[in-house]
Structure 1
Amino acid sequence: MTLLVLTVGVTNGAWGQSTPAPSDTALIALGQQLFQDPRLSADGTIRCASCHRPDKAYADGRRVAVGVYGRASTRNTPSLASIGRSGDTSFFWDGRRPTLEQAVLDPFINPVEMGLRDDRVLLSKLTADAAYFTAFAKRFPGTTTPITLIHVAAALSAYIRSLDQRTSAYDRYRSQHDLSTLSAQAQQGLIIFSGKGECAQCHQPNGSPVALTDHAYHRTGVGLGAVEQNLPALTQDVIERSLQGTDIGNRVATHADESQLGRFNVTRNPADIGMFRTPSLRGVALTAPYMHDGSVPTLDEAIDREVYYRSLQAGRPLNLTVREKQELRAFLEAL
Structure 2
Amino acid sequence: MASCASDEGSTPEEEGYEPTPLDLKVPVLFQQTISSPVIPGDNPQTVEGVALGKKLFFDPILSGDNTLACAGCHAPEEAFSDSRQFSPGIDGIEGRRNSMPLFNLAWNFKENFFWDGRVNSLEKQALEPVIDPVEMHNTWPNAISNLQATSAYPELFSKAFGTSTIDSTMVSKAIAQFVRTLISGNSRYDQFLRGEIELTEAEQNGLDIYIDEERGDCFHCHGTPPNDLLWTDNDFHNNGLDEIFDDLGRGAATGDPREFGLFKTPSLRNLAYTAPYMHDGRFETLEEVIDHYSEGLVYSETIDPLMKAVGEGGVQLTEQDKQDLKAFLLSLSDESFINNPDFQEP
Q: TM-score, normalised by structure 1?
A: 0.77
The residue type equivalent to 1:40 in the other structure is L
In structure 2, the residue corresponding to 1:284 is in which secondary structure?
coil
What is the aligned counterpart of 1:331 among 328, 331, 340?
Answer: 328
Q: CA deviation at 1:85?
A: 4.5
Contact 1:35 1:49 in 2 (8 A): yes
Q: CA deviation at 1:311?
A: 8.8
Deviations 1:161-196 (A, max 9, x none): 11224511112223x245x34222111111111112
What is the aligned counterpart of 1:109 among 124, 131, 151?
Answer: 131
Residue 75 (structure 1) aligns with: 97
1:163 aligns with 2:182: yes
Take 1:310 and 1:221, find their aligned partners in 2: how far apart are those partners? 5
Deviations 1:112-155 (A, max 9, x none): 11110x222222121122310011012212x4x64222211111
Counterparts in 2 of 1:189 and 1:272: CA distance versus 1, 3 Å? same
Unmatched runs of 5 consecutive residues or more in structure 2? 1-23, 26-43, 300-306, 333-346
Q: CA deviation at 1:39?
A: 2.1
Take 2:329 and 2:81, find their aligned partners in 1: how far apart are those partners? 17
Q: CA deviation at 1:87?
A: 4.1
1:190 aligns with 2:211: no
Residue 191 (structure 2) aligns with: 172
The residue type equivalent to 1:271 in the other structure is R
1:123 aligns with 2:140: no
1:34 aligns with 2:71: no
1:284 aligns with 2:303: no
Contact 1:81 1:283 in 2 (8 A): no
Q: CA deviation at 1:86?
A: 5.0
In structure 1, the residue corresponding to 2:248 is in which secondary structure?
coil
The residue type equivalent to 2:219 in the other structure is A
1:136 aligns with 2:177: no
Structure with bigger gyration radius: 2
What is the aligned counterpart of 1:47 among 69, 75, 83?
Answer: 69
1:268 aligns with 2:255: yes
- After superposition, residues 180-219 of structure 1 pair within 5 angstroms as 180-195=197-212, 196-206=215-225, 210-219=229-238
What is the number of residues matched between the two proteins?
281
Contact 1:104 1:153 in 2 (8 A): yes
Q: CA deviation at 1:273?
A: 0.6
Contact 1:215 1:278 in 2 (8 A): yes
Counterparts in 2 of 1:131 and 1:170: CA distance versus 1, 3 Å? same
Counterparts in 2 of 1:186 and 1:197: CA distance versus 1, 3 Å? same
Contact 1:140 1:146 in 2 (8 A): no
Counterparts in 2 of 1:193 and 1:310: CA distance versus 1, 3 Å? farther
Contact 2:68 2:136 in 1 (8 A): yes
Deviations 1:49-94 (A, max 9, x none): 0011111111110111111122111110001023245545211101
Unmatched runs of 5 consecutive residues or more in structure 1? 1-8, 11-21, 228-256
> Once superposed, which parts of structure 1, at least 4 consecutive aligned residues long, lie more than 6 Å away?
none
Take 1:99 and 1:35, find their aligned partners in 2: how far apart are those partners? 17
Q: TM-score, normalised by structure 2?
A: 0.75
Residue 341 (structure 2) aligns with: none
1:221 aligns with 2:240: yes
Contact 2:192 2:199 in 1 (8 A): yes
The residue type equivalent to 2:154 in the other structure is F
Q: CA deviation at 1:40?
A: 1.6
Counterparts in 2 of 1:207 and 1:133: CA distance versus 1, 3 Å? farther
Contact 2:85 2:276 in 1 (8 A): yes
Contact 1:64 1:73 in 2 (8 A): yes
The residue type equivalent to 2:151 in the other structure is A
Take 2:173 and 2:274, find their aligned partners in 1: how far apart are those partners? 26
Take 1:23 and 1:207, find their aligned partners in 2: how far apart are those partners? 28
Take 1:165 and 1:200, find their aligned partners in 2: how far apart are those partners? 20
